[in-house]
A and B are shown apart, each in its own frame.
Chain A
Amino acid sequence: MSNIHVTTKINGDPTEYLCAPDETLLDVLRDRLGMTGSKEGCGTGDCGACSVTINGRLVCSCLVLGAEAEGAEIETIEGMADGDQLHPLQQKFIEHAALQCGICTPGILVAAKSLLEKNPDPTEEEARYWLAGNLCRCTGYDKIIRAVLDTAADLRKAS
Chain B
Amino acid sequence: MPIISAKDVGLRFVKSYDKTWTARSKLARLAGTLTGRRQPVSYHHVLTDINMEVKDGERVGVIGPNGSGKSTLLRVISKIYSPNSGIMKVEGRLSSLLSLGTGYNNVLTGLENIQMNALLHGMTMKEIERKLPEIIEFADIGEHINKPMKYYSNGMIARLSFSIVLSLSPEILLIDEVFSVGDIAFKRKSEAALHELLDRASIQVIVSHNLDLIANHCNRAIYIEAGRMKMDGRPDEVIKRYEQDYGAAEEKTESS
Chains A and B come from one and the same complex: no
